[in-house]
Structure 1
Amino acid sequence: MAQDFTPQQLTRVSKPRLYEQLVEQILGYIQSARLGPGDLLPAERDLAERLGVSRATLAQALVALEVLGVIDVQHGTGAVLVYRPSIATVIRELRAHRSRLPDIVEARSTLEVKLAGLAAVRRTEEDMLAIDASLDAMAAEIAGGDKGAHGDELFHQAVTRAAHSSVLAQLMTFIAEMILETRLESLGQPGRPEQSLASHRAIADAIRGQDAQAAQDAMQSHIDLVSDVALLK
C-alpha cells in the first residue's frame, strides 16, 4: 500500500552578495599566498584588477574585513593582515554584523539625539573648545587622506560630555564598541568622511547657539546619513 508522502517545503536559496563573494576571494588569496599577521595585501588597484571589479566595490569588501578585525587599513601603507580566519567564520560574522547594524543605528538615534539636545542646553565654553578641537582633528585627518575615524570618535565623545548626563554617558560607553562598527562602515563609503564632517559642523553650530531642537534635528540627520551603508543595500 502506498504511503502518503508530503514533500518538504523548499526555500529559496539566496545568492551571495557581491561583497560576500569578494570577501571569499580575498580570503582565498590570503590563504593561497600564505600571508600571515603583519603581511601586506596587494595594493587596491592591483587587487581590483585581479578580481575584475571597481576599486569602489573592492573598498566595500575591505571595509567589511576591517570591521571584523581581519585587516587593518593604514593610510599610506595599505591593508595589513591582522589574523587569518577561516572563510566560513568570516562569512558567518559578516552576516551577523549586517543583521545587527539596524539595531545599532536605532540605539544611536535614541541616545545621541537626546544627548545633542541636552548638550545645547548644558554646554560650557570648555565643552565647545573640546567639540571644536574634535572637528579640527577630523578635518586634519581627512586632509591627510585618512577617513577621519579618530576625529569622528572624539566629536561624539565631546558631545556626550557636553550633555552632562552621567547615565546617558554610561549607556554610550556600553555601546561604544558596536558604534565603532558603524563608524568604520560609514566612513568607508565614497565621499562620506567629508559629508560626515559637514554634518558634525551643523550639530556643533546648533550646540554653540544653544538651540536644542536644531541640535537634535542635526544629530538625527547625521545618524540618517551615517546609517546609509552599502552593506545594508
Structure 2
Amino acid sequence: MKQQATPQPLMRVTKPRLYEQLVAQLLAYIESASLGPGDLLPAERDLAERLGVSRATLAQALVALEVLGVIDVQHGTGAVLVYRPSIATVIKGLREHRNRLPEIVEARSTLEVKLAELAAERRTDADLAAIENALQVMSEEIAAGDRGAHGDELFHQAVTTAAHSPVLAQLMTFIAEMILETRLESLAQPGRPEQSLASHRTITAAIRAQDPAVATAAMLSHIELVSDVALLK
C-alpha cells in the first residue's frame, strides 16, 4: 500500500505593509517612465498626490529606497535615481533590513553608551571642541531644511574619538554602514532632527562637565529615541 506524503502546513498569508506597496508602485513608475541612473523623480508633493498618501507616508517609502541605495535624496534637488533594480529584489532587501534593525540598535546601545561614559572621563579640550563643532554643523543643516545627517555622523564620530578607546573605535567602524541605515531611518521621522539635536546637546553637556553617569544615561536615552522608527511599527 502506497504511503501518503504528509501535507505541508498552510502558512498564513501576510498582507504587504503600506510602505512595501508604495515602494512597489514607485519602482513600477520608474520602469514605465524609463528613468535611468541620474534621472530625477517627481517632487514629493506630486508623488504623494498621485499615490493618494500623505507626504509623511511617502517619505517612509523614499527613505527605505535611499537606505538600499536605489535613490539618493538630495536637499534642494529631490530624489535622484541611482540604479533600477527589480521589485522583488528591493522588497527582499527591505524585509532583511527591517529584520536587521533591532540587532543594530542592540549593538549601538552597547557600544555607544560605553563610549559616552569614557568620553566624559577622558575627553580633552580638543575633543570637546570637535563635539561642539558637530553640533553646530547639525544645527546649521536643520536650519537650512535638511535632516542633519552629516552633523549627526560627525557628532557620534567625535564622541567615539573622545573616548580614546581604539578597540571600541574599531568596532564602531565595523558597524558604521549599518548605523547609517538607522540614521537615515530615524532622521526621516517628522520632528526627529530637532529632537536628535537636543539629545546631542544633553550628551555634550555631560561630557563637558565630565560626568560619566549623566553621559551614560543621556546616550542611552538618545539611542532609545533614534531607534523609534516607523519601519519597525
Q: Same fold (TM over 0.5)?
A: yes
Count of aligned positions: 233
1:116 to 2:89 alignment? no
Equivalence map 1:131-146=2 (5 Å): 131-146=131-146
Task: For residue 159 of structure 2, give the secondary structure of its aligned residue in structure 1.
Answer: helix
1:169 positional shift = 0.5
Q: Distance in 1 between matches of 2:71 and 2:165?
A: 36
1:157 positional shift = 0.3
Q: Distance in 2 between matches of 1:5 and 1:59?
A: 48
1:3 positional shift = 6.0
Equivalence map 1:1-233=2 (5 Å): 4=4, 6-233=6-233
Q: Distance in 1 between matches of 2:14 and 2:214?
A: 43
1:8 positional shift = 2.6
Q: Distance in 2 between matches of 1:155 and 1:134?
A: 5
TM superposition score normalised by structure 2: 0.98
1:173 positional shift = 0.6
Q: Distance in 1 between matches of 2:196 and 2:113?
A: 16
Q: Where does structure 2 lack aligned partners over 5 or more consecutive residues? A: none
Task: For residue 80 of structure 2, give the secondary structure of its aligned residue in structure 1.
Answer: strand
Alignment root-mean-square deviation, CA = 1.1
Q: Distance in 2 between matches of 1:134 and 1:169?
A: 18
Superposed CA offset, 1:49-77 (max 9, x none): 10010100000000000000100111111
Superposed CA offset, 1:114-166 (max 9, x none): 00000000001111100000000000000000000000000000000000001
Identity of aligned residues (%): 81
Q: Which runs of 4+ in 1 moved over 3 A?
A: 1-7
Superposed CA offset, 1:201-225 (max 9, x none): 0000000111101001000000000
Letter in 2 for 1:194: E
